[in-house]
Structure 1
């Protein structure tokens, strides 16, 4: 065990300017640390814990086979490299345990960007794969008076952070816009509604930046996805097809006080 620790410490210290610098950072006596490096002494449980925390390596790995330590540090290096390449790598899924209750199917309600008297209803799905929660939002709008529908699909990821559900998604293609949903379930609210805001580029000339209050309503007891899609499209904001709370939120959520009253 002495020799395992010595080899592992020498390997870890090689990434630093000097052993003295490591000792200063840990707050440990240089002469004592040199004995660990030479395999002549073992650290006390307290010192072993401090060394382990400094190098971000488990105590069992510090004391274990040198090949295992090299495998561990190689994986850490890859993780750090990934973080440098992708600053948002740790954002998704955030708190996965708190996000899991939100998995499932939803109807998504928001104000139409080109007509303040109308609401658009989309369909959304949140599902978990390999520890990440993925989103899929589908819009199916009728074109004119025909029965033909224009379908738009956006794929993205969801995260639970700061007590909110965040969904970021995009259509496919190199020039596709990105949309953001920030959703909240009011405290002690037993309904199946999530209230929030969405920001996106409207499908209008110039792809106008747009935001809208949005409500996600959990879809349950539907027989097929086709049935869900059949209920999507454009409706009048005052239509009886909309739940009263959804209707009120979309109509008056432009002011914080009104929105707070509706969601409580």
Structure 2
């Protein structure tokens, strides 16, 4: 990246109330961003793309000579460098973000145990990663509907869910969508841990079966904390379907999942 980056960034930032506001929206450290502006240091490729995406310019354009970059911005009018208009969905969710608690202590990897909605009578173990990015708590859930039978492992489906997490009052709310087929939105509600060390989180999950009828379903769910750093390959090998009596499933988890999730029309969780 050329020496013109700082000058061009200052031009783009002039469309906002302050540099601090830009840093908050970008999720970047103010001191580090000031070094970009002064030319003392250069952004990583990742941060450079984040900056370009935020302002609506290509990364290579940020390195153009100042006069050429200014003409480029002027030619594009208000579409470049001006604060992005918040769309209706962002406006709807902003109060939810504002009132959400701090989920930092819940960041890390989990095994999720749930009764499989698509293959009744089996337990689905998924791998979940919750993280914080730019002040937003997001998570990714990996599923494989794999069942080991007679020494043979057959894979019927793989799913990847992406979602956002919120803490409202004394519950954790997680909303996600299936990012490979875009055919499902699911919600998980967990009871937070009040212990100094997180081990397991219990709750309920709603979604639909991947079968032809797309049947709505609800199941109890257990999240088992693995840590903030794990061997992902080793963990992913365990992501599959299990028989309810499989000895690899902890008896306590098996007992929780065996309880009916709906009773007298109300959800009940321990």
TM-score computed with the length of structure 2 as normaliser:
0.58
CA distance in 1, matches of 2:180, 2:160: 11
Report if the CA contact (8 A) 2:141-2:160 is conserved: yes
CA distance in 1, matches of 2:94, 2:201: 25
Match of 1:217 among 203, 217, 224: 224
Match of 1:103 among 104, 107, 113: 107
CA distance in 1, matches of 2:228, 2:95: 35
Which residue does 1:112 correspond to in 2? 116
Match of 1:178 among 174, 185, 199: 185
Match of 1:136 among 122, 135, 140: 140
The two structures, once aligned, show a CA RMSD in angstroms of 3.2
Report if the CA contact (8 A) 1:157-1:167 is conserved: yes
The DSSP-based 3-state class of the residue aligned with 1:242 is coil
CA distance in 2, matches of 1:202, 1:246: 22
Which of the pair has more CA radius of gyration? 1
CA distance in 2, matches of 1:235, 1:118: 6
Distance verdict in 2 for CA 1:171–1:93, change over 3 Å: farther
Report if the CA contact (8 A) 2:172-2:189 is conserved: yes
Q: CA deviation at 1:90?
A: 2.2
Is 1:86–2:91 an aligned residue pair?
A: yes
CA distance in 2, matches of 1:251, 1:84: 37
Which residue does 1:241 correspond to in 2? 248
- CA deviations 1:135-184 (Å, max 9, x no partner) are 10110222785555632101111111121111101023685211100001
Report if the CA contact (8 A) 1:135-1:155 is conserved: yes
Distance verdict in 2 for CA 1:222–1:259, change over 3 Å: farther
CA distance in 2, matches of 1:233, 1:128: 27
**Aligned residue pairs, count:** 183
CA distance in 1, matches of 2:199, 2:173: 17
CA distance in 2, matches of 1:191, 1:128: 17
Distance verdict in 2 for CA 1:131–1:107, change over 3 Å: same
5+ unaligned residues in a row in structure 2: which ranges? Answer: 1-82
Q: How does 1:36-115 map to 2 (within 5 A)?
A: 86-92=91-97, 94-97=99-102, 99-115=103-119
Is 1:204–2:211 an aligned residue pair?
A: yes
CA distance in 2, matches of 1:122, 1:85: 29
CA distance in 2, matches of 1:105, 1:159: 17
Which residue does 1:127 correspond to in 2? 131
